[in-house]
Chains A and B, each alone.
Chain A
Amino acid sequence: MQKNMKKGIIKIVIVVLVFILAKFLIREGIIGAYTERIIITVGINIILALSLNLIIGYTGQLALGHAAFMAVGAYVSAIFTTKLNLPFVPAIILGAVAGGAAGFLIGWPILRLKGDYLAICTLGFGEIVKVLIQNIEYVGAARGFSGIKLFTTFGWIFLFTVLAYILIKRVVNSVYGRDMRAVSQDEIAAEAMGVNAFRAKLLGFIIGCAMAAFAGGLYAHYLMFIDPVSFDFNKSTEILTFVVLGGIGSTSGSVAGAVILTVLPEALRGFGDFIKTYRMLIYSIMIVILMIFRPQGIMGNRELSLQNLMKKGNTFNIKGGEKDGIA
């Protein structure tokens, strides 16, 4: 207990120090406005990847409409701040609640079924959300919702990304998290062991959807403009790519995937025209190769942890025994 507390304090101190350092670098202009924008994008993408990973990696359900939940959060929170003059934080929290509610509406009937149904339904849901937004003049329909105030700053992003990471860690290591993992390994066996598979799946799905909606709220108040096409199936596959590259079922892997795939295209700007032109082609080949040779992604279901870094020179810590595949 004592040891855990000490570790926790060290972690908090490190996070605070990193934040102060980054803030200092931004104020001094060493991290420029351009880099700051990329960092903010990375933060949003990390939250998205974490949320999808909870659904795919830990609950074992394939969701293909993640961008739709992001859209729900983005639009709902933007309506609250822009049209109803609510402050930023309550607005994005309401956005997240709306996303969670949407997740419940889809998940409650569908997650009772076994098989690929969730993938199909979330896909359909993604299309429905897009079409509905395109029909609502109140939020600008296809022309997009503009005039949203800028609220998402580096400070908020830093705070929320860290909180999202902690939340996911907490959920995964809780009783419910163990239920989710049990269900993802073998639903029938888990049920035989007395796990309420439906409840575990639904809980994971709702939390994932709410987090995606939360990220959507951050996105809307950072870009100041949202349009329905930005939340289409391509966006959902982009988030899926983060998770797959990083390692399905690995929290730090999702972070790594989101960071790499957000920073890389920016880093390649200017040179590497070939890579940029064929980016999507390269991504798709990469996913196929990953799925065949290393379906567990870069990190697999291993986690990068502080304790491990301090104990040995070894970077990776294998938790819960080695297990290949995403199961």
Chain B
Amino acid sequence: MVTFFQQLVNGISLGSVYALIAIGYTMVYGIIKMVNFAHGEIFMVGSFLGLFAVSVLHFTFFPALLFSMIGTGLIGALIEKVAYKPLRNSPPITLFITAIAISMLLKNLVKTNFLAGPNPHSFPEVLSVDVFHIGPVQVSYIQIIVLLTAVILGALLQYFVKKTKTGYAMRVVAYDKDAAALMGINVNRTITITFIIGSALAGAAGVLVGIMYPRLEPTMGTLPGLKCFVAAVLGGIGEIPGAIIGGIVIGFTETMTKAYISSSLADAFTFSLLIITLLVKPTGLLGKKTFEKV
């Protein structure tokens, strides 16, 4: 029973990591209906920016987090301006391929010797990695921080999208771009802001996950990117609370599969979950049914 509770903690902790990355993913999709395949790579870049801030600029945790968020936000805006904006009216397949190319680009750019190089780097301990015990079950501070960050950022984002003027503009753009433009909403600006926020969230996740799992390499964003995408789809892509729930569900499933079924089949289970979700409820747990406009 103790083991089960420990595994529960492990699952929620892993799930909160996925949730953290998935909220940015889902937000971008929710507004511009585009799968930003490069999100996992922006997360990776965020991790390296955090490392740069800590080890080269000697920042402490919070300035480093901010540095990374600003950095990834700018990179996200740049990618949107250069690569995605010219394709806004292209078929989704073109955008999807471009996003894959951007993800390849970021990975291989960081891999060059001018930047991080292909070898793994370690992250200095800027946050306490101490553990405390709740009965026989043990939890580390960083696990709590990641979970809290995911929930708080998710709540803030939800508030931002639902209650602020910019958020309102975002939702209008999501509903109908042309009509939004006619209503005097600056569509380009709104989409850029969406990208900046989404990427900054990935940057924040990058720093936190870098501290939690201190092994940084150019390919570190690929697998989490895929799994968080699964999480976003599972929770209902475009729904911010859905991303958090989806992330936790995925983390929980993965951990429980490893703990009680087979550690070598865990990934197969995760991706099967994706396919099953799409078959049973393509809109995800919290998604709403949409109708295609003709």
Instruction: Determine if A114 is an interface residue (Cβ-Cβ < 8 Å).
Output: yes
B279 contact set on A, CB distance < 8 A: 109-110
- What are the interface flags for A111-140 relative to B under an 8 Å C-beta threshold, 1 for contact and 0 otherwise? 001111101110111011001101100000
Q: How far is the CA of A240 from the CA of B97 in the complex (A)?
A: 9
How far in angstroms is the closest Cβ of chain A from B292?
6
Q: Is B94 a contact of A127 with CB atoms below 8 Å?
A: no
Contact at A287–B267, with CB atoms within 8 Å? no
A292 CB–B CB distance under 8 Å:
yes
Does chain A have a CB within 8 A of B90? yes
What sequence of 0s and 1s flags, for each residue 70-91 of chain B, a beta carbon within 8 Å of any chain A beta carbon? 0000000000001100110011
| Of A120, A240, A278, A288, most B-chain CB atoms within 10 Å | A288
Q: How far is the CA of A64 from the CA of B274 in the complex (A)?
A: 15
Alpha-carbon distance between A90 and B107 when the two chains are bound, in angstroms: 41
Of A114, A125, A131, most buried by chain B (CB within 10 Å of CB) is A131
A147 close to B (CB within 8 Å): no
Say yes or no: A120 contacts B91, CB within 8 Å: no
> What's the Cα separation between A119 and B96 when bound, in Å?
9
Write out, one digit per residue, whether chain B residues 101-124 have a CB within 8 A of any chain A CB (1) or not (0). 110110111001000000000000
How many interface residues does chain A have, given as a range? 35 or more
| Contact status B108-A131, CB under 8 Å | no
- Is the beta-carbon distance between A281 and B93 smaller than 8 angstroms? no
The reply to whether B101 and A291 contact each other, CB–CB distance below 8 Å, is yes
Q: Does A60 contact B (CB under 8 A)?
A: yes
B92 within 8 Å of A (CB atoms): yes
Tell me the nearest residue of chain B to A280, going by C-beta. B108
Give the residue among A124, A280, A284 with the most B Cβ atoms within 10 A: A124
Find chain A residues with CB under 8 A from B92 CB.
Answer: 115-116
Residues in A lying within 8 Å of B, measured CB to CB: 56, 60, 62, 64, 106, 109-110, 113-117, 119-121, 123-125, 127-128, 131-132, 134-135, 188, 233, 237, 240, 244, 248, 278, 280-281, 283-285, 287-288, 291-292, 295, 325-327
Give the complex CA separation of A284 and B97 in angstroms.
Answer: 10
Q: In the complex, are the beta carbons of A62 and B93 less than 8 A apart?
A: yes
With beta carbons under 8 angstroms apart, the residue of A132, A134, A287 that contacts B97 is A287
Contact B97–A62 (Cβ < 8 Å): yes
- Give the distance in Å from the alpha carbon of A209 to the alpha carbon of B108 in the complex: 29
Known A-B contacts: A288-B102, A325-B91. Give 19 more (CB < 8 A). Answer: A56-B93, A106-B275, A113-B278, A116-B35, A120-B274, A124-B274, A128-B267, A131-B264, A131-B267, A131-B268, A237-B104, A278-B108, A284-B102, A284-B104, A285-B105, A291-B97, A295-B90, A325-B90, A326-B91
Is there an interface contact between A120 and B233, defined as CB atoms closer than 8 Å?
Answer: yes
What chain B residues lie within 8 Å of A115 (beta carbons)?
92
How far is A233 from B90 in the complex, measured between Cα atoms in Å? 25
Check B264–A291 contact: CB distance below 8 A: no
Interface size of B in residues (CB-CB distance below 8 Å): 41
Interchain residue pairs A-B with the least CB separation, the first 8: A287-B101, A124-B271, A284-B104, A284-B105, A131-B268, A281-B108, A280-B108, A291-B98
CB contacts under 8 Å to A, within B189-248, are 222, 226, 229-230, 233
Count of inter-chain pairs, beta carbons less than 8 A: 119
A60 to B92, CA, bound (A): 10
Judge whether A278 and B112 touch: CB under 8 Å.
yes
* Chain B residues within 8 Å of A62, by CB: 93, 96-97
User: Are A113 and B282 neighbours in the complex by a CB distance under 8 Å?
Assistant: yes
Chain A residues within 8 Å of B179, by CB: none
Q: Is the CB of A281 within 8 A of B105?
A: yes
Report how far A240 CA is from B279 CA in the complex, Å.
26
With both beta carbons as reference points, the residue of chain A lying nearest to B85 in the complex is identified as A292
| Contacting pair A284 B226 (CB below 8 A) | no
Indicate whether B272 reaches chain A with its CB closer than 8 angstroms: yes
- Name A288's contact: one of B98, B267, B292 (CB within 8 Å): B98
**Across-interface contacts of B275 in A (CB, < 8 A):** 106, 110, 121, 124-125, 128
Q: How far is the CA of A127 from the CA of B272 in the complex (A)?
A: 9
26 contacts between A and B (CB under 8 A): A62-B96, A64-B100, A109-B278, A109-B279, A110-B279, A116-B96, A120-B233, A121-B274, A123-B226, A124-B230, A124-B275, A125-B275, A128-B267, A131-B268, A131-B271, A134-B264, A135-B264, A135-B265, A237-B100, A248-B93, A281-B105, A281-B109, A284-B101, A291-B87, A292-B83, A326-B91
Closest approach, in angstroms, between the C-beta of B19 and any C-beta of chain A? 19
